[in-house]
Amino acid sequence: MNADVSHAAVSPAAPARKPRHIAIVMDGNGRWAQARHRPRTIGHRAGARAVNACIDACLDDGIEVLTLFAFSSENWRRPKEEVGALMQLFLRALDREVDELLRRGVRVRFVGERAAFAPELRSRMARAEELTRGNTRLHLCIAANYGGRWDIAQAARALALRAAAGDIDPARIDEHMLAPQIALSDLPDADLFIRTGGERRISNFLLWQLAYCELYFTDILWPDFDAAALRAAIADFAGRERRFGMTAAQIAAGATP
Ligand code: IPE
Ligand code: IPE
Ligand code: MG
């Protein structure tokens, strides 16, 4: 796979093969707080600081897209107080960070079913997207009330509506027709998936998009995840051989999918 060759020149210290799009399940905030005998909310606050450090590291390393799992469609099942505290944290973080993101060239986008959020949060989300839409240095996608199954279902619905309207022939629906309806399809594919916090599961994050993503799991709890930890994941990625169904010999001969 040589799709990343164009990035080799970004920095002399950069690994030869660099992910273009990193997707992270930011897990372990609760356990981080618990280890300090503090309420879980403190862990979420510390997690918000780690987000900033991660964005900085991505900017420094020339990563094009960073997708962060902030709130899953299943996280509504948490105690009401924790969900409320998370919503407050999102609201405050948006108010506090948007100007800085704008200044640093970050384009912000939200993915997920946003109808479930309070109107004031939805308007902050729309404002952050609007303000930063001209930025190109780093595309930051925040997955909020996102579920991989929701994503596939909404894509199927979009095609079903087009079929019902007579725009497309349902018998001709294939993965190439579905793919553009899936979230983030206009961006480079997620090529490095990171989950912090020690669990080795996807928890309904990107499902379709992870088909050929390299998976990386670390025991580091999200609030402790820093630039060095991100670089360790990127270095691990650089050592992977991505074959996309082909043989190692084909890859060595320069074949690309
Ligand atoms: C991830 O950390 C943050 C969210 C899901 C919002 P957790 O809150 O899941 O932390 P643990 O897994 O309980 O330690
Ligand atoms: C996944 O973490 C969701 C986010 C990080 C936002 P969870 O902590 O909710 O996942 P499970 O419940 O352990 O699978
Ligand atoms: Mg968790």
Pocket test for ligand 2, best of 24, 26, 27 (most atoms within 8 A of CB): 27
Residue 5: both structure tokens together: 């060759």
pTM for the complete prediction?
Answer: 0.93
Average pLDDT over residues 185-212: 97
**Residue 9, pLDDT above cutoff 80:** no
Q: What angle do CA 218, 221, 223 make, to 5 degrees?
A: 130
pLDDT in tens, 126-177: 999 999 999 999 999 999 999 999 999 999 999 999 999 999 999 999 999 9
> Is 27 an annotated catalytic residue?
yes
CA-nearest residue for atom 11, ligand 2, is 203
Pocket test for ligand 1, best of 24, 25, 26, 27 (most atoms within 8 A of CB): 27
* Confidence grade of residue 257 (pLDDT, cut at 50, 70, 90): confident
Determine if ligand 2 sits within 6 Å of the CB of residue 219: no
Query: Could you give the domains of the chain?
Result: 7-238 (3.40.1180.10)
**Residue 222, pLDDT above cutoff 60:** yes
* Confidence grade of residue 16 (pLDDT, cut at 50, 70, 90): low
Q: What angle do CA 224, 228, 229 make, to 5 degrees?
A: 55
Determine if ligand 2 sits within 6 Å of the CB of residue 69: yes
What lines the ligand 1 site, CB under 6 Å?
A: 26-31, 71, 75, 86, 197
Which backbone phi and psi does 184 adopt, to 5 degrees? Answer: 70, 10
Determine if ligand 2 sits within 6 Å of the CB of residue 72: yes
DSSP 8-state secondary structure symbol assigned to residue 232: H
What is the average pLDDT value for the chain, to the nearest integer?
94
211: Cβ–Cβ under 8 A, 6 or more apart, which residues? Answer: none
Average pLDDT over residues 219-240: 98
Average pLDDT over residues 63-72: 98
Tally of CA atoms within 13 A in the half-sphere of 178 that contains its CB:
16
**Residue 228, pLDDT above cutoff 90:** yes
pLDDT in tens, 82-124: 999 999 999 999 999 999 999 999 999 999 999 999 999 999 9
